[in-house]
Amino acid sequence: MRIVLLPLLPLLLTATGWSADEKSPTGSSFPRVIRPNITEPVPLKPNAGSCQANSLKRTPAALQLLAQMEERPRDFYGLPGHPADKRAGQRVSANGPVKLERLATLGTQRITGVEPTACEPAPTARTQFTATDPTVWHFLTVSGAAAGEVVVWEWIRPDGSRHDTTRLTLNVSGSVCMWAGLNIAGTTTAGFPGTWTVRVTVNSTPLATTTFTLGASNTPGGGAGTRVCRNELSLFYQGAHSLGTAWVRPVFEGSIFSPLAISQIQGALDNLLAGVNAVPCIVFDRTRITALSRRIPTISPDTAITETEALIRDLQLAVRTVPLTCDSGVNLESLFVVGVHLGAAVGWSTGFTCQDAIPNDVISAMQAHLETARQAAEAYRPCSSSFDPDLFRTAINLNEPGIEVFTDLVGVYNLYVWNVSLSDCCCTCGGPGGSTGGGAGAVGTVSGTVRNASNGQVLANARVTVVGATTINATTAADGTYTLRSVPAGAQRLEASATGFITTTVNVNVTSGQTLTQNISLSPVLQTGQTRITLNWTKTNNQPNDLDMHLVGPIPNSTSCFHIYYSSPGNLTASPFAQLEVDNINVSGDPPTETVRIERLTPGIYRFYVHNYSGNSQAELAASRATVQVFGSGGQTFSDTVPSGTGVYWSVFTMDGTTGQITRTGTVSGTAPPQTCR
């Protein structure tokens, strides 16, 4: 477990304008960050206990509540508006209890949608669920069980975070079956579509792992009808507060992060993820939070400040448009702004706890944060009537010694979070006031990997842009990956480019609140007469692992046809003057990309098709988002995405060997295209 300390300081803000009449921000942009011009060296975070000699004249009464804060429920079950938890069940098998002096051994396991009632027959397996299904169940049989052993189910969300646990202490021994359930409909579970993982341990020893898929609900972010009350709202507020401290912390580092700073920032981002997850209908790519956390040890403090600020801006926009109806006319954005800005003010104070006085430039920054928090708290006041927002002004004297300022701020923070956690104010996912996924403001995310078409290797520093929205762009990282955020929902066109490569465009269809994977190959510049064909696709649960390119064409000075594919790769310097340039199985990691190159065309008909060699299902090819593109010396000449249909063959196009004219065929079937070329 990471130890999360209250981080250290960043950045002067100009306060967001708030209107007492509107209870919401009047502007759409987050306050601009300006690094204060501090004339003296910025102190590093003191070691624990190094400044205990500083006088602590008083301890705010609010700090006495800190221990009580741990008494709030940590799970979402049993609260008003939530169904009772589905506790684990158990049954002794027909064989009767037989004590075996060995560890429990897994027999069978399966996911099912119906609560089991006996060990035999085993329940019908089911792995696909929707947000309206009542419960998902995990059933397993075990031999060698012993009374007193503790069985724990962990329910892991698609983003890798732990959603819930179910614990069972066995009161029987021998061969047993047992099961545990997780509620879906009407709970926060419904808000996390994707592939879930169930992990089971016995006395902390791994026993079983399996997965199931939860489909997206109609409401962006999911969880339509889910009630978000005191527990979830206080978790969300604390997550926003942690984001504010993570924003500040890099200011006190040199050119690289110290181990302490890495731990503090990663811990703060963990808290942020928990807070966002507490409100399932927030439409936001949560992998941005985990990705930034993983990268903290490798990026510079300045880069961390920039990326954290971008995270704040984008998350605030997502919170503003969330389909959520709250009591008393308040909105979630006000709570977010209070948390971020109070967190930033706390961060500033933390770096000066051993100073007799905080520099004036830093005081100005803290005042801006606190004023923004005060105005936001006024907007949320109908749900926190016992908290006076003027405490952000009156309860904190920024001219006191640093340790006093820090103590005052922590006291106010605890008063506010305690007030939120005791409020009866609730919100309901799926209400008006936010994007519903298809209208104005609906956005999604596009990500993928850009590779060199000639060898299948990843390309760093390639540029990917949304055509017509040049401000939505990304540069590929060292591993070739890119992410485009806030892409308007609907049909979009991406453009990818890099020095020495042909600029590539590809059509995508973006769904609001969802992340679309679009891998791209860039062809090196070609000479006159040369042609390159690329294939890219998306793997789901590592499938389809192997799509194969097939090119049939005329053999020069012959009436016969060649057929290039994985077992007959061809030749570029001799007949047929065409070759399978990249076979994904021959590239490390089996990346979802292949390439065929034609050195020169021969009169006749070239036929190109794709075969799903993996062949796991007839629907897999159409679901793979496979994309084929053709390039010549003049640039890109063709692009198409696999159409709907069932079958393992996709007939893509024919090409005239004399003129180079390409004709789309675009059909998916269970039969291979003809092998003719004349």
Per-domain residue ranges for the chain?
A: 12-75+229-429, 89-214, 437-523, 526-678
Residue 499: count of CB within 10 angstroms of its CB? 8
Give the C-alpha separation, 373 to 409, whole Å. 12
Higher local confidence (pLDDT), 114 or 526: 526
Identify the pLDDT of residue 16. 31
Give the C-alpha separation, 649 to 669, whole Å. 5
Asked whether residue 118 carries a pLDDT value surpassing 90, the answer given is no
Both tokens assigned to 151 = 């069985």
Torsion angle, alpha carbons of 334, 338, 339, 340, to 10: 100
Phi/psi at 632 (5° precision): -130, -170
Q: Under a CB-based contact definition with an 8 Å cutoff, are residues 257 and 108 in contact? A: no
The CATH architecture one would assign to domain 89-214 is Sandwich (2.60)
Asked whether residue 221 carries a pLDDT value surpassing 50, the answer given is no
Over residues 176-185, the mean pLDDT reads: 83
Residue 494: count of CB within 10 angstroms of its CB? 22
Asked whether residue 646 carries a pLDDT value surpassing 70, the answer given is yes
Give the C-alpha separation, 58 to 64, whole Å. 12
If pLDDT is split at 50, 70 and 90, which confidence band does 41 have?
very low
The CATH architecture one would assign to domain 526-678 is Sandwich (2.60)
Phi/psi at 63 (5° precision): -65, -25
On the CB side of 258, CA atoms within 13 Å amount to 15
Asked whether residue 192 carries a pLDDT value surpassing 50, the answer given is yes
**Residue written as token pair 């190959």:** 521
Identify the pLDDT of residue 527. 93
Is the pTM above the cut of 0.75?
no
What b-and-e string marks burial along 169-194, b requiring 16 or more CB atoms within 10 Å of the CB?
A: ebebbbbbbbbbbbbbbbbbbbbbbe
Torsion angle, alpha carbons of 488, 489, 493, 494, to 10: 60
Both tokens assigned to 403 = 């340790």
Return the closest-CA partner of residue 600 out of 573, 637, 582, 561: 573
Both tokens assigned to 79 = 């609260």
Residue 492: count of CB within 10 angstroms of its CB? 22
**Residue written as token pair 């009436």:** 559
Residue 554: count of CB within 10 angstroms of its CB? 21
Asked whether residue 328 carries a pLDDT value surpassing 80, the answer given is no
Q: How far apart are the first and last CA of the chain?
A: 68
Return the closest-CA partner of residue 236 out of 194, 171, 187, 282: 282
Return the closest-CA partner of residue 527 out of 604, 649, 634: 634
Angle CA 417–245–235, to nearest 5: 35
Asked whether residue 448 carries a pLDDT value surpassing 70, the answer given is yes
Over residues 371-399, the mean pLDDT reads: 84
Which residues are registered as beta bridge partners of 579? 570, 597
Both tokens assigned to 470 = 């040049």
**Residue written as token pair 């749900």:** 383
Identify the pLDDT of residue 619. 86
The CATH architecture one would assign to domain 437-523 is Sandwich (2.60)
Phi/psi at 408 (5° precision): -60, -45
Give the C-alpha separation, 589 to 612, whole Å. 18
Q: Do domains 89-214 and 437-523 have the same CATH topology?
A: yes
Higher local confidence (pLDDT), 96 or 675: 675
CA distances in angstroms from 172 to 142, 151, 426, 568, listed in the order given = 12, 12, 43, 61
> Burial of 28 by CB count in 10 Å (0-12 exposed, 13-18 middle, 19+ buried)?
exposed
Return the closest-CA partner of residue 48 out of 16, 97, 3, 88: 3
Return the closest-CA partner of residue 373 out of 25, 60, 28, 11: 25
Asked whether residue 55 carries a pLDDT value surpassing 50, the answer given is no
If pLDDT is split at 50, 70 and 90, which confidence band does 187 have?
low
Higher local confidence (pLDDT), 390 or 330: 390
Give the C-alpha separation, 524 to 222, whole Å. 43
57-73: pLDDT as tens digits: 333 333 333 333 332 22
* Candidate from 7-11, 217-221, 229-233 with smallest mean pLDDT: 7-11
Higher local confidence (pLDDT), 78 or 281: 281
Over residues 536-547, the mean pLDDT reads: 90
